[in-house]
Amino acid sequence: MTRTWFITGTSSGFGRLLTERLLARGDRVAATVRKPRTLADLKAQHGDRLWIASLEITDTDAIRATIGRAFGELGRIDVIVSNAGYGLFGAAEELEDGQIRDLIDTNLIGSIQLIRAALPHLRKQQGGRILQVSSEGGQMAYPGFSLYHATKWGIEGFVESVRQEVEPFGIGLTLVEPGPTRTNFGASLVSSGSTDAYENTPVADLRRAFSEGSFDIKGDPGKVVEAMIASVEQDPAPRRLTFGATAYASIHSALQGRLAELENRKDVALAMDIDP
């Protein structure tokens, strides 16, 4: 079955690879990028099956206009993939105010507004699927990625709530949670300046691992995008897709730790209700 997909952040990484694979199998793709020329090779190869729009994901008005134009020109869009985003590394107090605002505007607010803009169109056509690219970092945390995790934990909470709101309309939402994967995520990673205060801390250890190339990256991006494509065949939509041995282990450990802490404080929690 051929489908029409709307994907943000298609110039590289998962977005680019997903666009390539979908076009190769005969689907239509509405692809958004900051610089449309980055998709010129795919446009020349696939013609009208690739619809391209320039989009700055931090511009809410532009998001609404682009979504509206895509549905207006292409008709039904079966799958929305909210993929645009990037990483920010540095101890929380090392980060600049502008870096924090830019990251939240892109990863969190941009993703929220994209989903909000798509929902009226999906309701009107009585169904569809939304894939929100999150991360293992939506359920666990590394030192030095505090603001990145804030955006991913934030979008996961948003999607968990919206999923329940729109299920009656035949709209399914899935959180995609890859672990470290061999994309260009590292190349686009924004870093703060370092300070002597954090020299002998886990933040510095991780910074050194990045610079020395010793941070272990096992994830296969091709397998990830194929699993994303296959997921839209599943009904109901899976709530989460965890990809990679590292992601599985880290999320499993984080969930076990939180559950153990909850159980250890069960008596305190239950004692806080009003006495009969």
* CA distances from residue 50 to 29, 31, 44, 114, 143 in whole angstroms, order as listed: 5, 7, 9, 20, 40
Q: Which domain holds residue 67?
A: 4-245
- Residue 251: inside a domain: no
**Residue 100 belongs to some domain of the structure:** yes
- Please give the model's pTM, rounded to 2 decimal places: 0.93
Average pLDDT over residues 163-171: 98
Mean pLDDT of 183-196: 75
Which tens digit of pLDDT belongs to each residue from 1-41? 899 999 999 999 999 999 999 999 999 999 999 999 999 99
Q: Which contacts (CB < 8 Å, 24+ apart) does range 271-276 have?
A: none
Number of structural domains the chain divides into:
1
Task: Give the span between the Cα atoms of 222 and 17, in whole angstroms.
Answer: 7
- Would 192 be classed as within a structural domain? yes
Asked whether the predicted pLDDT for residue 247 surpasses 70, the reply is yes
User: Poorest-confidence range of 115-129, 130-144, 178-192, 257-271?
Assistant: 178-192
For residue 152, name the pLDDT band (cuts at 50, 70, 90). Answer: very high
Q: Confirm whether 185 is domain-assigned.
A: yes
pLDDT category at 214 given cuts 50, 70, 90 is low
Structural domain contains residue 250: no
- CB count within 10 Å of CB 267 equals 8
In a domain, 18, yes or no: yes
Active site residues: 148
Mean pLDDT of 76-101: 96
The residue-averaged pLDDT of 157-173 equals 98
pLDDT value of residue 249? 95
- Residue 165 inside a domain? The answer is yes
Q: Is residue 12 situated within a structural domain? A: yes
User: Which token pair is 195?
Assistant: 């300070």
* Domain at 232, CATH number: 3.40.50.720
- Counted residue by residue, the chain has a size of 276
**Whether the predicted pLDDT of 189 surpasses 80:** no
